[in-house]
């Protein structure tokens, strides 16, 4: 696929009732590989629109009994329309595979950027946190809890705009949930303790990410899994002397990493926090 094709038309192919097939796409380079399949750059032949095609092997879905989870993920992500949430345009399948037609995020995983730079500036961290906060506020209004926000699940588009991806652990519910899920370093205390949880688990993760953006590592990281669990349950939070991080950033993190989920800073209060206001101006593209 020629490089000039990377500038797609502004509008994705619009035909929700269309029966897609592999013949509708030109397949390009691989973009990534996961436990259940691979992701490829692709171009819809008729419109020339560039997408990411996620190929999932049915054999793996059957082996791990993930039919319900995948169906829920697809239904939730298709219903969401927000500039900071990766779009799922549609899907189709053949005998062996399921294909998800996803928005293409040219910048790749935020995880890669973070590993390359080590840590982010306070301004860049605040822009990402503001973007995430607005996206999660939209999700929560739709009664969607993501439950697995981490740098690997955050993508960047060609303008550097952040996109929440991978809704594999998400759930749409008005009531509290009991399934322990997500990724260890990002789990809220109520999940670690197998207690009921709600939207506040996503707010906790914003505190974890803010810390990781500024210090380069998650706050409760430990060599042994059991030690990480213990540190999360105790909220064993400390701020190293280096790198130099502002008092406002530490205050925001401290108000999010609170064991009592009802006392965590709300998403609205995050946007009103002095650290966000100081670092995110009207000229910054956060949506």
User: Distance between CA atoms of 111 and 132, rounded to whole angstroms?
Assistant: 15
Domain count, the chain: 2
Q: Are residues 231 and 156 in the same domain?
A: yes
Q: Which of 71, 103, 135 is the last residue of a domain?
A: 103
DSSP structural state of residue 177:
B
Coil/strand/helix, residue 105: coil
Q: Detail the residues annotated as belonging to a binding site.
A: 35, 54, 58, 103-105, 152-153, 166
Residue 28 forms part of a structural domain: yes
94 part of the active site = no
Under 8 Å between Cβ of 59 and 49: no
Kind of pairing between the strands at 50-57 and 97-103: antiparallel
Q: Report which of residues 53 and 37 the model is more confident about.
A: 53
Give pLDDT tens digits for 52-94: 999 999 999 999 899 999 999 999 999 999 999 999 999 999 9
User: Distance between CA atoms of 64 and 211, rounded to whole angstroms?
Assistant: 34
Residue 184, pLDDT above cutoff 60: yes
Under 8 Å between Cβ of 164 and 86: yes
State residue 177's pLDDT score. 82
Q: Are residues 59 and 199 in the same domain?
A: no
Q: Which domain holds residue 125?
A: 108-279
Q: Are residues 60 and 179 in the same domain?
A: no
Residue 12 forms part of a structural domain: no
What percentage of residues in the chain have a pLDDT greater than 70? Answer: 92
Residue 6 forms part of a structural domain: no
Q: Are residues 206 and 80 in the same domain?
A: no
Q: Are residues 196 and 265 in the same domain?
A: yes
Q: Detail the residues annotated as belonging to a binding site for ATP.
A: 35, 54, 58, 103-105, 152-153, 166
Give pLDDT tens digits for 94-153: 999 999 999 999 999 999 999 999 999 999 999 999 999 999 999 999 999 999 999 999
Q: Are residues 83 and 174 in the same domain?
A: no
Contacts of 141 (CB under 8 A, 6+ apart): none
User: Which of 24, 94, 148, 251 is labelled catalytic?
Assistant: 148
Looking at every residue in the chain, the average pLDDT score rounds to 91
Q: What is the CATH number for 31?
A: 3.30.200.20
Residue 14 forms part of a structural domain: no
Q: Are residues 117 and 220 in the same domain?
A: yes
Specify the length of the chain in residues.
287
Instruction: Indicate left, alpha or beta for 190 from its phi (over 0: left) and psi (-120 to 50: alpha).
Output: alpha
Q: Which two tokens stand for residue 21?
A: 């097939």
């Amino acid at each position: 696929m020629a490089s000039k094709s990377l500038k797609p038309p502004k509008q994705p192919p619009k035909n929700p009732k269309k029966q897609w097939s592999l013949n509708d796409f030109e397949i390009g380079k691989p973009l990534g590989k996961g436990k259940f399949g691979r992701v490829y750059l692709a171009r819809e032949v008729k419109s020339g629109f560039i997408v990411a095609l996620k190929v999932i092997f049915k054999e793996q879905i059957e082996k791990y009994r993930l039919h319900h989870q995948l169906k829920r993920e697809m239904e939730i992500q298709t219903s969401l329309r927000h500039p900071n949430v990766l779009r799922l345009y549609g899907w189709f399948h053949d005998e062996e595979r399921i294909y998800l037609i996803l928005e293409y995020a040219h910048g790749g995983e935020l995880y890669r950027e973070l590993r390359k730079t080590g840590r982010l500036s306070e301004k860049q961290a605040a822009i990402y946190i503001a973007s995430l906060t607005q996206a999660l506020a939209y999700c929560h209004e739709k009664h969607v809890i993501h439950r697995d926000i981490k740098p690997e699940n955050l993508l960047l588009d060609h303008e550097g705009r952040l996109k929440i991806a991978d809704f594999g652990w998400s759930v749409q519910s008005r009531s509290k949930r009991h399934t322990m899920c997500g990724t260890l370093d990002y789990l809220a205390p109520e999940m670690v303790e197998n207690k009921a949880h709600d939207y506040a688990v996503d707010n906790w993760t914003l505190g974890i990410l803010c810390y990781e953006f500024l210090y380069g590592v998650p706050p409760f990281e430990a060599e042994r899994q059991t030690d990480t669990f213990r540190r999360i349950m105790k909220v064993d939070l400390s701020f190293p002397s280096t790198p130099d991080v502002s008092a406002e950033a530490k205050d925001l993190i401290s108000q999010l990493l609170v064991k009592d989920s009802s006392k965590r800073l709300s998403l609205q209060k995050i946007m009103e926090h002095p650290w966000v206001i100081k670092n995110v101006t009207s000229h910054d593209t956060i949506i």
